[in-house]
A = this chain, B = another copy of it.
Amino acid sequence: MSQKSKIILVTLGEELLLGLTPNGHLTYIGDQLRQAGNAMHANITISDSPEDIEDNFDLYWKKADVLITTGGLGPTVDDRTKEVIAQCLGETLVYDPTVMKAIEDRFAALNLVVSENNRKQAFHFENAEVLHNENGTAPGLWLEKDGKILVMLPGPPHELQPMFNEQVLPRFLEKGIVQEKENYIQIRTTGIGESNLETLLQPIAEREDGLELAYCAHPGMVDFRMSFPNLINPYDRLAELAEECKSLLGDNFLTTGNETILDIVSRIMRRKKLKLSTVESCTGGYISNEITNLAGSSEYFVGGMATYSIGSKEDLISVPSDLIQQHDVVSEEVATAMAIGVAERLETDYSISTTGYIGPGGGTERDPVGTVYVGIHTPSKTYAKRFSLRGPRVAQKRRVFNLAVDMLRKELLGL
């Protein structure tokens, strides 16, 4: 099997099409294959009804070198996936007493009685290998046929993921379907939009023969991936190009790989034993929540406040009420006072403050809806910057978070 086997994923399940369950298998398996150097070619999501499987199976079996299916292996009478696919492939279903015993043992250990329905889960294709399910009843299947590979995996994520990791990926590696090492470099940027980034990289794109560039925008960051699909060993050239891009990007360079802005801030603060506090008005706890989502945050994050009312700002962090009256609660002056106030109250080296109108109501002539001030306090100074944002409330909170954390990152790096 060549290194670039075409892998297609068929995710079965009406709940996916009805939007009841997110298609986590696409994200998980896609990520695993990406890391292993052979990106998924396509994904199709259909119901697990016999009609829909019959309609689609042959087409995708023909297109793919490797076909992975997820779901449809349950015990209920409407789980007929194995029967239908067996028919499409001309495979016989055989009963496997070893599998039945494993199912019986599992039920016994959970003090449950095996249902008659579970019996059908002990059937598999005559020519297939069984992938034992440590975390559920339905085993997976591995079938080599017509120079292709079919992998059938159970639906529940906590059953699929260990099975994929422990049994499928090693077989893929053995067969050369995936590699040990990633064949591209990703560079993560901040503060530069996708179109301006493309313009910046144009000279490199034109100069490098065979270079492929792909972009992916995230909130607050734009990634681009460089690869040389036709080179066997692109690694040195990629490393050189990465250095060149890093210089070209200057302050807009964030990292190679997948660290986020917050990952970087967290790493620096912990290494330098610095402390951080936050006081948020319009973002209402979004920032402290994001910070405390990362393990290790308790090493540097002392605490935060969501001072949603004007009173709580005066009360909790001693923002002078005449300052608020004179400049308006949404102002550079109040954002600065809030940042100093919380840093003093909680005795931290750094702090972040936010105050703004993120809608739907609010806004003044000077600062219409969408205006947000972000304050930063450092050991040497305190200041606030004004931003004009658009979009729904939650999107604006996210944007403010990204802007605030990037301001902090720049302070920490002396940029």
On chain B, the residues within 8 Å of A1 by CB distance are none
On chain B, the residues within 8 Å of A43 by CB distance are 16-17, 23, 44-46
Binds B, one of A92-100, A309-317, A374-382: A309-317
A413 an interface residue at 8 Å Cβ cutoff? no
Given A289-B397, A292-B285, A302-B312, residue A118 in contact with residue B214 (CB < 8 A): no
Within the oligomer, what is the number of copies of this chain?
2
A356 an interface residue at 8 Å Cβ cutoff? no
Interface residues of A in 1-58 (CB under 8 A from B): 14-24, 26-34, 39-46, 52, 56
On chain B, the residues within 8 Å of A14 by CB distance are 39, 214, 216
Interface residues of A in 51-92 (CB under 8 A from B): 52, 56, 74-78
A210 an interface residue at 8 Å Cβ cutoff? no
The answer on a CB contact under 8 Å between B302 and A303 is: no
The answer on a CB contact under 8 Å between B284 and A291 is: yes
CA distance A395 to B24 in the complex (A): 15
CA distance A154 to B388 in the complex (A): 23
Q: How far is the CB of A373 from chain B (nearest CB, A)?
A: 16
Least CB separation from A286: chain B residue: B289
Given A115-B195, A397-B289, residue A158 in contact with residue B391 (CB < 8 A): yes
The answer on a CB contact under 8 Å between B316 and A307 is: no
Interface flags for A296-314 (1: CB within 8 Å of B; 0: not) read 0110011111111101100
The answer on a CB contact under 8 Å between A289 and B293 is: no
A112 an interface residue at 8 Å Cβ cutoff? yes
Which one, B30, B44, B46, B289, contacts A289 given CB within 8 A?
B289
Which one, B110, B194, B308, contacts A292 given CB within 8 A?
B308
On chain B, the residues within 8 Å of A223 by CB distance are 20
A345 an interface residue at 8 Å Cβ cutoff? yes
Which one, B28, B33, B194, contacts A75 given CB within 8 A?
B194
A241 an interface residue at 8 Å Cβ cutoff? no
Given A18-B39, A293-B393, 12 new contacts (CB under 8 A):
A14-B214, A18-B30, A23-B26, A42-B45, A44-B45, A76-B215, A117-B198, A158-B395, A285-B287, A286-B289, A295-B359, A295-B393
Sort A-B residue pairs by CB-CB distance and give the 10 closest, nearest first. Answer: A19-B31, A284-B292, A19-B30, A285-B285, A285-B288, A303-B312, A285-B289, A115-B195, A304-B306, A43-B45
Instruction: Show the binding face of A for B, using Cβ within 8 Å.
Output: 14-24, 26-34, 39-46, 52, 56, 74-78, 109-112, 115-118, 135, 156, 158, 162, 193-196, 198-199, 213-218, 223, 278, 280, 283-289, 291-293, 295, 297-298, 301-309, 311-312, 315-316, 345-346, 359-361, 388, 390-395, 397
9 A-B pairs with CB atoms under 8 Å apart are A19-B30, A22-B24, A43-B45, A110-B388, A135-B390, A162-B392, A284-B297, A303-B305, A303-B312
